Amino acid sequence: MRSTSTACFACRTEVDLFPFTMAFQPVVDVVAGRIVAHEALVRGPAGQSAGQVLSQLDDQNLYAFDQACRVRAIEMAARLGVDCDLNINFLPYAVYEPRACIRRTLEAARRTGFPLDRLTFEIVESERIADLDHIQTIIQEYRRHGFRIALDDFSTGYSGLARLADLRPDIIKIDRALVQGCDQDRVRLAIIAALVGLGAELGIKVVAEGVERVGEAAALRGTGLRFMQGFLFSPPVLEGLADPARALAPLRRG
């Protein structure tokens, strides 16, 4: 692992990056019947998957890529007229000095007029975190600027509820692995209902990811869960935003 000073220098150094762009997928409030957020997802310029893009990362471009993703997501969201929350995935191991590494994000938000309190940074729960103290320092610095923290892919990771207690996110996103077929599996549905109840008790917003069928959405709604994301509402839209009428249509069918 590089030293902090080396990594921070890498963040400030110009690196020739491979081409990439962003797609946006909405998060829907099924109770209010509105889109409440868009998640920015990295894609190749012709729509290549995130996996294909991320496979090009190495020690030389990791830090610059993390910075560039944040800036591009904010700039594109502002250009597209996003008027709700923006969720950005970030690489915790690419942030060595949180106060220094957040500068370009702050500059992009100021330059585009995108409100800081609409930014949510997502940590993937399935990623092993070797330095918990460092992640907690990142979260503390981000919250100082008004950002929210989401724990992504929740229920599929290394430490489950222990990670929830350690990081205390503002949002947890229940992974598709648990959501899939929940309308036909009382065990899955009971676990989701328990997470919804836990979120209510702790003041944590709970989002179900990977919702693909009306039956799943209806079952999730029955647990009290109100925030959903998935192909039922809209696939990720390359360099664009989902049509609200199309995204909200499943609510009328359900």
Domain limits of the chain?
A: 4-253
Element (H, E) at 124: strand 119-124
Cα–Cα distance measured from residue 53 to residue 21, given in angstroms and rounded to the nearest whole number: 10
Predicted confidence at residue 159, as pLDDT, reads 54
Element (H, E) at 136: helix 132-144
Residues 6 or more apart whose CB falls under 8 angstroms from that of 30 comprise 217, 221, 226, 227, 228, 251, 254
Residues 6 or more apart whose CB falls under 8 angstroms from that of 140 comprise 98
**Residues of the chain whose pLDDT is less than 50?**
1-6
In CATH terms, the fold of domain 4-253 is TIM Barrel (3.20.20)
Predicted confidence at residue 37, as pLDDT, reads 98
Q: Return the SS3 of 129.
A: coil
Distances (CA, A) of 29 to 191, 207, 226, 247: 21, 9, 6, 11
* Partner residues linked to 119 by β-bridges: 86
Contact yes or no for 25/236 (Cβ under 8 A): yes
Record the pTM.
0.91
